[in-house]
Structure 1
């Protein structure tokens, strides 16, 4: 064999081996989408492995969504590239994630969680990067002209929760984080309670990342009283810790308490003389109920206000199918988790907008402009049709950019979160009336 033929043979073998290594795993070349358009790069961030609220399912859902759309040829021929970032529940972490999004030319931040709105919105605004479908935990998500929320945030949840509780609770104790974001919660809850001429809740601030809440639990139960009393806790991931402290309280104060001292009976709302517990989605959800005993959970019978239909609703079927086929048994991607659900809806918005632009190049400014001029997003019944034109904004003080002000009333029955009342409840006027 001549030297030239040997060299050619070696080159062929090397090229074939490289191609084979690229084809391992998914069976396609990484990034191959079948289209020739430029990739679309976005970022999703959330805190993980912190002492407070963690949302690892949100970046995991973003990666799952990307695997799905890229297996279908991308979004309108654009490969979707998802950057993820641990926000660490800190202002420094949030700012670092935002700066990385700018540095890596992300055209949007999608389906993310952070309480540190001021830290992340400033870098995004300076670079003109839209923030699509954040979790709704910071006020900046509802004030920045570059934020496009898909739900009504904590404001709608808490105001709606007041309405949900008003018909069943004579007295309400609210245990909430002693933080800037937590300071608004009593006003919002009271705005809902007062819709039914109910007196305001007793406000009990608590450290967000405490290891136990015995003192706050005791005070909350005492103030709620023994007859038609309700204890509401909105502490994010630490809500479970609070109710663990609550159920361990001596039983003499509430006449026996019922089911762990806090959640008697079924979901009828009829009073049985014991203190009833309640919360909102994100602080209590199906994953928490499953972890704490299902039908024997201390949350049995609890009232819960959510943004979206119950997890078993048929509207979630497309998301469930994508998770089943593309999450690869990643247990962070729980279809009943509110963070995962919000991320799915946020990426639905992104997909719709990119398809509507129908161009080889997608930029941050073009996405923001499309949303501002009134691109309508159909989420398949998970929310009302979303649109962010000026006339669609609620304009509530502190939350002017809310466009979805509908919530759902749910209850824990036999270990499952189910609808207490069918359909959505519009709480826009209640949010507007909050001080």
Structure 2
């Protein structure tokens, strides 16, 4: 179901939909948060969208829920530089039609930005935003268009950075690597990024194994990956299908096998590890490449405190989820820009100009300091909007994702030099 929700509005609500009974304010009638006492600035209206359909192949309900939580928190503190934050949310439904509908609604509502959102259908959402001059801040990185559109301001390097980082992480310990990836246009670009990092470390290129994204079994691909990896590593980047692949792999893997398994955040994360047994999970010992510090890092404490106070009992919001974390960072960008503008009226054009002129965003160490001037981009024709080419190396120990290497690892050079396999 596609729809949009108002969190903060001084006007009657035209349409409200919800699929989660978490807080009467958000699920009945036209959820309204009282205006700010003594607020001096105009209300700032933004939108956050994501697929929000329980049981679907892609369900990122935590992202719009985190956006609404952020609004409750910041408005309780007096808003952003005196501006009440009004958040609209939209179910993107993981479809081009749903994505386009959300973008058109954002234009119709004259939002100043789309913030912390998820869509695999980048052209469907970015074309309407570009026509209206609306910036797209901190998308999840699920589409290539986020890294080419002049109105996109990504906070991470997307899946490309994860793959480049995954190759570098595996190169330290793996003589051979089997890469299991989708049989799709996006999947076709994956081996080139992994292999660039492997060959830089004098490792052979990965053995490329294509697989359907949402199969019920991966026995044949698992057997092939195990055979080709030898005593090396098997890495799988299949989104939701990654769990199913490693179920098949574990059934075939000989006892006491020396093979290490690996993936990237978005395909494997703390919620999946918890759901599959924690310290008894089949992912115990796995290498995982991420964008941000591990979820137990102290730098996430402010976000966790906000969730605990303003979204208590809302099971859509998991602070360990990368989508929730990305939304928090994206709203940090929005807040910094509005405070830097220091104006009574905030417009989409003003937000874009501020970002383009080099407003610096300190995310509290969750990313490097972010800035989107031309000279801050990675300088790649394939990824012209990436300004953060850093990743983190993590490993599953005792059922938790923990740091495999301290700090960020810069894969910018790989992103610039990688050649996608034809």
Q: Which residue of 2 aligns with 1:338?
A: 322
Q: Does 1:279 align with 2:263?
A: yes
Q: How does 1:368-383 map to 2 (within 5 A)?
A: 368-383=352-367
Q: Within 1, Cα distance between the matches of 2:198 and 2:52?
A: 34
Q: Which residue of 1 aligns with 2:275?
A: 291
Question: For 1:138-188, what per-residue CA distance to the aligned partner results, in whole angstroms no more than 9, with x for missing partners?
Answer: 111111110000011111111011000012111111112222222211111
Q: Does 1:315 align with 2:305?
A: no
Instruction: Compute the TM-score of the two structures, normalised by the length of structure 2.
Output: 0.89
Q: Which residue of 2 aligns with 1:105?
A: 110
Q: Within 2, Cα distance between the matches of 1:191 and 1:396?
A: 15
**Which of 43, 46, 51 is the equivalent residue of 1:42?**
46
Q: Relative to structure 1, is the Cα distance of residues 53 and 177 closer, same or farther in structure 2, using a 3 angstrom cutoff? A: farther
Q: Within 1, Cα distance between the matches of 2:126 and 2:205?
A: 33
Q: Which residue of 1 aligns with 2:16?
A: none
Q: Which residue of 1 aligns with 2:20?
A: none
Check conservation: 2:234, 2:260, Cα contact below 8 A: yes
More helix by share: 1
Q: Which contiguous aligned blocks of 4+ residues in structure 1 show a shift greater than 6 angstroms? A: none
Q: Does 1:360 align with 2:344?
A: yes
**Which of 186, 191, 195 is the equivalent residue of 1:186?**
191
Q: Relative to structure 1, is the Cα distance of residues 53 and 219 closer, same or farther in structure 2, using a 3 angstrom cutoff? A: farther
Provide structure 2 residue ranges, at least 5 long, that are not aligned to the other structure: 1-23
> How far did residue 53 of structure 1 move?
2.6
**Which of 214, 222, 245 is the equivalent residue of 1:217?**
222
Q: Within 2, Cα distance between the matches of 1:53 and 1:44?
A: 16
Q: Within 1, Cα distance between the matches of 2:276 and 2:32?
A: 43
- Secondary structure of 2:58 counterpart: coil
> How far did residue 29 of structure 1 move?
7.6
Q: Which residue of 2 aligns with 1:234?
A: 237
Q: Which residue of 1 aligns with 2:377?
A: 393
- Secondary structure of 2:185 counterpart: coil
Q: Within 2, Cα distance between the matches of 1:375 and 1:426?
A: 22
Q: Within 2, Cα distance between the matches of 1:25 and 1:86?
A: 18
Q: Which residue of 1 aligns with 2:9?
A: none
Question: For 1:68-121, what per-residue CA distance to the aligned partner results, in whole angstroms no more than 9, with x for missing partners?
Answer: 011111111111111111212221221111111111111111111111111111
**Which of 52, 64, 75 is the equivalent residue of 2:69?**
64
Q: Does 1:81 align with 2:86?
A: yes
Q: Within 2, Cα distance between the matches of 1:231 and 1:181?
A: 19
> How far did residue 48 of structure 1 move?
2.7
CA RMSD of aligned residues (A): 1.7
Q: Relative to structure 1, is the Cα distance of residues 135 and 29 closer, same or farther in structure 2, using a 3 angstrom cutoff? A: closer
> How far did residue 211 of structure 1 move?
2.5
Q: Within 2, Cα distance between the matches of 1:290 and 1:185?
A: 27
Instruction: Compute the TM-score of the two structures, normalised by the length of structure 1.
Output: 0.87
Q: Within 1, Cα distance between the matches of 2:32 and 2:270?
A: 38
Q: How does 1:153-168 map to 2 (within 5 A)?
A: 153-168=158-173
Q: Relative to structure 1, is the Cα distance of residues 29 and 41 closer, same or farther in structure 2, using a 3 angstrom cutoff? A: closer
Count of aligned positions? 390
